Structure 1
Amino acid sequence: MSADAAPSTTEAQVWEHQKLISTGLACLEAAVHSNKLPPRQEAKARLRYASILYEETENLQEAETTLFQGIKLCEKHRYTDLRYCLQFMSLKVLFQRNQKAAFIALDKQIAECQTFKHIPWVYAFRLLKATLQTYAGNSVEIALLDNLQSLSTLAHERGDHAVGVLGSLLEGLAHLRVTKQDTVERVQTCLAQVAKYQLDPFVQVLQLDVLTLLLDLACSMHQKNPDLLVHKLSALQSRMDAGLDSKEWADGVAEMRIPLKKQHSSYHLISDDTGAILQAGSLDEGRDFVVMSFLTRAELFALVYTFSGLASLYRFHHNPAKVQRKSSELWEEGLKVIQQLASVSEAGAVTATVSRHESIRQAKWRTEMFCYLQLLTGLYCATQSRWSVVDQCLVKLQKAATQTPNDIFSLCCLYLTGVYHQGTGDLETALLLFQDSRFDIDSTLSAGGGRKPALLELCLLAALNRLWILQAPDFRDDTTTLALLEKVRPICTEHHDPEIRTAFHLVQATTRTNQPVSMQVIKTSIHSAVQTSKQIGNTHCLAIGLSIMRYQLFDNVVGEQALKSAKAASAQSKRSGNLLWMSVADGMLAHSYEVQEQMAEAQAAQKAASEYAARALIGKN
């Protein structure tokens, strides 16, 4: 029933869901206050009552009061397992009301568990703290890393290496959230810690393996190394395929169980009543389990399709002959998975134990994945001049983005809209969009670490788009151009991402103002752009770089070198598949042939350039 109450359902279904919740809460409230339940049953009832209040209502005060009374009851009767469960829930409730107080209380709770050597609960509370720190944002980045390192250190000291590996993986993910110059090195250090225990049978958990491979692939994508990406992507896909028959990770299972050594005294710490947090293993197994929420197998497949599409961009540029599926095809598969998940949810096929709060979270995740895949598809098709597809992506995005408050998606949608108008020749609209206050670089920088790196990168890209539009005769503005160049130059030239640096060098090499750039600066910019594009396998930027080289260095030049430059730009543009740049490159090739007095070749090249231009404007490939 809860899945039916997700955002896509009708008002009648929501009303029915709320009615059932109200009835259930009334029954639980009556039972809790009846004074007729045995102490343990009353504690369990209070936990359930508070959990529903937390997940289904906004009555946090009532939930806190109920949990406090339950904790006192457990202390009186020495129900250690239930007391920890109640305290675990009370910290989640407190976090909703006062984040600072919740972290102070968490530290006290962790210290208490360490004092009494209740190690499984130390793990549980440290993982809860990490989760809450993630929700708190980048302001607690250092505290988050310290917490995860403490978790890993304790786990490895006690031989619970799977928990330690989980801590290292979460630390690696935390490093990726706030990109710095040494991000790749930090993530690789975490992966090296994980690799130490890859042969330990206790550590061989399917979800941990997949998470490791995903983190490794993400790290390689930061490095922009095509050879590494091919290897990492193949390993990830093989592991996913090998896990299709796993009983531990069946369809619909949205959790992972991390094994830890069974303590002799754990019988009063872990029970059937702690199963949502800690699960007791059999005596024969010799281990218990920490339980964590995780993606379902279908959700992870959608994520893997997304990563595979991104990685395939570099594989295609590096060696097109070895690429079996294009990025757009992989993203289409990811969209199919997301749509299937949405259909299953709408049909009410999700387990009834899922709360409305969780149903909404899952629906939001699906919406964000849908938006992200549409954005990637739109940006990819923009590089192919497939403007009709870009337009379709924008329509879908504008409809779906209203369901998620994520500011990055709204900014990405705005940027893609600007790209669409710029690519289809509506420069006035494109310029207005790229001048939007949300693309203001100063406000992004002044926000410091509180804003995600993607926001700054989008602002930089919008500024670079503006600079090229401002070169058009109807929009020429030297004052704005110079000011914008000075603003983005120090950020772009020192940026960790080589593609951002490359894009800036391409723009700098072509920007003209009333203060002319020296030919040495132009040559240096072109050289940097071309060399970096080759290193990272970006055929699109390489095609642009070679076209700019032909225009800036060999325009109206007679000689074999000038013709070779034009031919290289033409060949590379065709390899990139961008119709606009294919038109530009062949137009310059035609001019080079004319200069060489090779008129037949010039006419053929000019005809091809005109055809590419016509196809680019109507968006047909």
Structure 2
Amino acid sequence: MPAPHSRSASTSVLASGSQVQPIQTPNVPLDRSLLLMSLAEEFFDAAHSIAPSVTLSRTGENVEVYEKLISTGLACLDTALSHVRLAPRVEANIRLRYAGVLYEETENFMEAEIALSKGIALCDRNHYYDLKYAMQLLLAQFMFKKSPKASLKALDSYISNAEAYQHISWVYALRFERAAHSLESSSLTDYHAALQNLRSIAKLAGEQNDRPIYMMASLMEAMAHLKSTGPESMEHAQRAIAAVWAYQLDSDNRIPQLLGLAHILDVACSLRQGNPTVMINKLKLMQTMMDEALRDPTWSTTSNVIAIPINRAQNSSQVVSPDTRTVLGIGNDGRDNLMLSFVSKKDAFSITYLLCGMVFLHRNSTSDQKGFKYLETGLNSLEADMRAPRASSGVLPDCIATLQWRGQIMCYLNCYMAFCAAAITDWATAKGHIEKVETTARDFDVPLVGPLGSVLVYLTGVYYQGIGDLDTALEIFQGKTFELPAETGKTNMMNSADQVERDIALLAALNSLWILQDGDRKNPSRNTTLIARLEPLCKSHPNKDIETAFNLVMATVETHPAAALFQVKNCLRAALNGAQTTANTQFLCITLSVMCNRFFSNVVGAQAEKSAQAASVQAQKSGNILWRSVADGMLAQCYEVNGKAADAKFTRDHAFKLAQMALPDI
């Protein structure tokens, strides 16, 4: 068990420490600083070794044991700083380590800033440029937690100094930190500052022939554009990804993590654009690359750190050393290595399974449920990894953050599995996955806010609409979660998370409109008002499927005054084109069924029969039992008015069986 193990570890350390003095000889002076540093590292190692198990159990007793080990290690370092006469280099190293542990494990900003300020002054006096840069970077990270603006201003100063002295490796490190901090802000000014820093890195890397750094800067730029909702964001993102492809065959600088990230971002871009052919092609390339990465030992299955090589400059020996290895290390080939946080191979595969499921769900491959199978595989892989015994160590807050991130991925996998089930009217399975999202969020402390929260609430409304509980569904869709924006302007200021929440609110409003056409709920004047509010948000929407859904609503919802016939035809034509463009079989099924009902109901002739048959065939492809019953019911009616009694009876019986399957309780 973690608690006894941690106690035995601390006891053994104290025991070994108490046995040191008796074996000392008068001729060998005791190095108290080395002893205290070694003791501190043993306490830290003991804490980090139990961190994975503490993360999973999260009991108060185990967390207390972990915290005691960390605090004892910090006390050892504090004792060395306060009561031992230290050599300047040793003191600087201890101050850096002390502040680093405070940053990772505590929120004691003041103590850390004091230690770093004294350390930076010490480094200045003794020209320890390597440790000074490391301390400045850590100080900026502390400052960002309290005052982001002060942190960004400090980083700009540090970058300017590093550039003046041509300390290239630290220019990279500081600029990456500056860009990362800027991207966490919602300010448009900070967003542009992040892009400027990333492009400066890419320019410098090109001049220094540091191709891996150039690739990393380009990928971060692509991620920045993906977070934006501007009209040219996808074009800029793809241009940044294309810069990476230029070096993908360079064997000397081939880093599987960067290529894997490039493919993941490329698929994400194609999802935003909605072209089904492009999505499938890019998905296949991603799968091929990830299969190759599976056999590549340079991408760890457990570590979340990536080392990016940098060509050594002439003065690099003064500013990069083993003491700065948490930020800048020295590789086996003699080059500097920039150490960055990155996902492990297993976590990267979880992302690819999610993307595969999203792509095939987008194509509505309900006949073979390929999308559902990818999502299920990804979920099973994550759950199995959670149950596997943990041999690695780590910092407890980082382990908790990683576990929470994996929990969030599991929530999204369950959400999309629920969408897959809803697409084929398997409401029991959909409800099961909705409940699993709630359980997973509770177990892993995943906040159900933002896009994930909106998706879950929307799914819940879809479930109640699907089982025929329209009152509950309407209450959900018209709730505070899905309030439409008061203003339609300034959409370019939103980030992608805001865009997702607004898009789901639009879908909820469209669902509400269709529910409001039922019986006593129908109010043509209210329909007209709501459509007028939705039109500027949905018409020419960058997501083609949302525009298609709106056109279907326009063609089917009764308004006052009533829409002209040519307007209805235009809406249905636009819906048909939109569904064909995105290869969305659900929308094709609905559009063809609406066209058949609107223009060929009780009409005798071959054209009417062809229309009804087309709707039936497309409904069968969609796999949606309810729409299959609707389409077959219209086909039976068409057979009846055309005098085909036997065909009409057979088709109507089949439609009735499908209706019973779709809504067994009604």
Q: Do both share a fold (TM > 0.5)? A: yes
> Where do residues 278-289 of structure 1 align in structure 2 (5 Å cutoff)?
278-282=328-332, 285=333, 287-289=335-337
Contact 1:180 1:496 in 2 (8 A): no
The CA deviation string for residues 240-272 of structure 1, in whole angstroms up to 9 with x for no partner, is: 111223221122121222222111211111111
Cα 1:499–1:276 shift into 2, 3 Å = same
Q: Which one is further off, 77-86 or 194-203? A: 194-203
Unaligned 5+ residue runs, structure 2? 1-49
Query: Is residue 2:526 matched to residue 1:483?
Result: no
1:467 matched to which residue of 2?
A: 513
Residue 197 of structure 1, CA deviation: 2.5
Residue 7 of structure 1, CA deviation: 6.4
2:3 matched to which residue of 1?
A: none
- Aligned-partner Cα distance in 2 for 1:459–1:27: 55
> Where do residues 307-386 of structure 1 align in structure 2 (5 Å cutoff)?
307-314=355-362, 317=365, 326-344=370-388, 347=389, 349=390, 351-352=392-393, 354-386=394-426
Cα 1:109–1:28 shift into 2, 3 Å = same
2:29 matched to which residue of 1?
A: none
Question: Share of identical aligned residues, percent?
Answer: 36
1:228 matched to which residue of 2?
A: 278
Residue 444 of structure 1, CA deviation: 8.3
1:249 matched to which residue of 2?
A: 299
- Report the RMSD for the aligned CA atoms in angstroms: 1.9
1:276 matched to which residue of 2?
A: 326
- Aligned-partner Cα distance in 1 for 2:288–2:517: 48
What TM-score comes out, normalization by structure 2 length? 0.88
Residue 194 of structure 1, CA deviation: 1.9
- Aligned-partner Cα distance in 2 for 1:492–1:415: 18
Contact 1:570 1:582 in 2 (8 A): yes
Query: Is residue 2:472 matched to residue 1:429?
Result: yes
Q: Which of 605, 608, 623 pairs up with 1:562?
A: 608
- Aligned-partner Cα distance in 2 for 1:462–1:28: 57
> Where do residues 121-200 of structure 1 align in structure 2 (5 Å cutoff)?
121-137=170-186, 139=188, 140-200=190-250
Query: Is residue 2:536 matched to residue 1:520?
Result: no
- Aligned-partner Cα distance in 1 for 2:330–2:71: 33
Query: Is residue 2:539 matched to residue 1:493?
Result: yes
2:341 matched to which residue of 1?
A: 293
- Aligned-partner Cα distance in 2 for 1:17–1:537: 54
Residue 37 of structure 1, CA deviation: 2.5
- Aligned-partner Cα distance in 2 for 1:340–1:275: 33
The CA deviation string for residues 63-114 of structure 1, in whole angstroms up to 9 with x for no partner, is: 1111111111111111111111111111111000001111111111111110
Q: Which one is further off, 131-140 or 233-242? A: 131-140
Residue 474 of structure 1, CA deviation: 3.0
Residue 579 of structure 1, CA deviation: 0.9
Q: Which of 591, 600, 613 pairs up with 1:545?
A: 591
- Aligned-partner Cα distance in 2 for 1:483–1:8: 53
Residue 350 of structure 1, CA deviation: 5.0
Query: Is residue 2:173 matched to residue 1:116?
Result: no
Cα 1:14–1:479 shift into 2, 3 Å = farther
Higher relative contact order by CA 8 Å / sep ≥ 6: 1 or 2?
Answer: 1
Cα 1:379–1:522 shift into 2, 3 Å = same
Residue 167 of structure 1, CA deviation: 1.0
Cα 1:137–1:350 shift into 2, 3 Å = farther
- Aligned-partner Cα distance in 2 for 1:8–1:606: 57
> Where do residues 428-467 of structure 1 align in structure 2 (5 Å cutoff)?
428-442=471-485, 448-449=493-494, 452-467=498-513
Cα 1:418–1:316 shift into 2, 3 Å = closer
Query: Is residue 2:629 matched to residue 1:590?
Result: no
Secondary structure at the aligned position of 2:231 is classed as coil
Secondary structure at the aligned position of 2:247 is classed as coil
Higher Cα Rg: structure 1 or 2?
2
2:30 matched to which residue of 1?
A: none
- Aligned-partner Cα distance in 2 for 1:382–1:474: 27
Secondary structure at the aligned position of 1:136 is classed as coil
2:254 matched to which residue of 1?
A: 204
Q: Which of 429, 439, 446 pairs up with 1:404?
A: 446
- Aligned-partner Cα distance in 2 for 1:290–1:21: 27
Q: What is the aligned length?
A: 609
- Aligned-partner Cα distance in 1 for 2:298–2:321: 20
AA aligned opposite 2:494: G
Secondary structure at the aligned position of 2:307 is classed as strand
Residue 363 of structure 1, CA deviation: 1.4
- Aligned-partner Cα distance in 2 for 1:7–1:471: 49
Cα 1:138–1:359 shift into 2, 3 Å = farther
- Aligned-partner Cα distance in 1 for 2:450–2:363: 31
Contact 1:138 1:178 in 2 (8 A): no
Cα 1:203–1:111 shift into 2, 3 Å = same
Residue 446 of structure 1, CA deviation: 7.7
Residue 138 of structure 1, CA deviation: 5.3
Secondary structure at the aligned position of 1:259 is classed as strand
Cα 1:86–1:582 shift into 2, 3 Å = same
Cα 1:8–1:560 shift into 2, 3 Å = farther
Q: Which of 117, 120, 142 pairs up with 1:93?
A: 142
Residue 207 of structure 1, CA deviation: 0.6
Query: Is residue 2:345 matched to residue 1:306?
Result: no
AA aligned opposite 2:500: A
Residue 528 of structure 1, CA deviation: 1.0
Residue 180 of structure 1, CA deviation: 2.8
- Aligned-partner Cα distance in 2 for 1:341–1:38: 46
Contact 1:113 1:121 in 2 (8 A): yes
The CA deviation string for residues 107-139 of structure 1, in whole angstroms up to 9 with x for no partner, is: 111111101101100110111112222322354
Cα 1:479–1:202 shift into 2, 3 Å = farther
- Aligned-partner Cα distance in 1 for 2:136–2:395: 20
Contact 1:5 1:359 in 2 (8 A): no
- Aligned-partner Cα distance in 2 for 1:340–1:269: 43
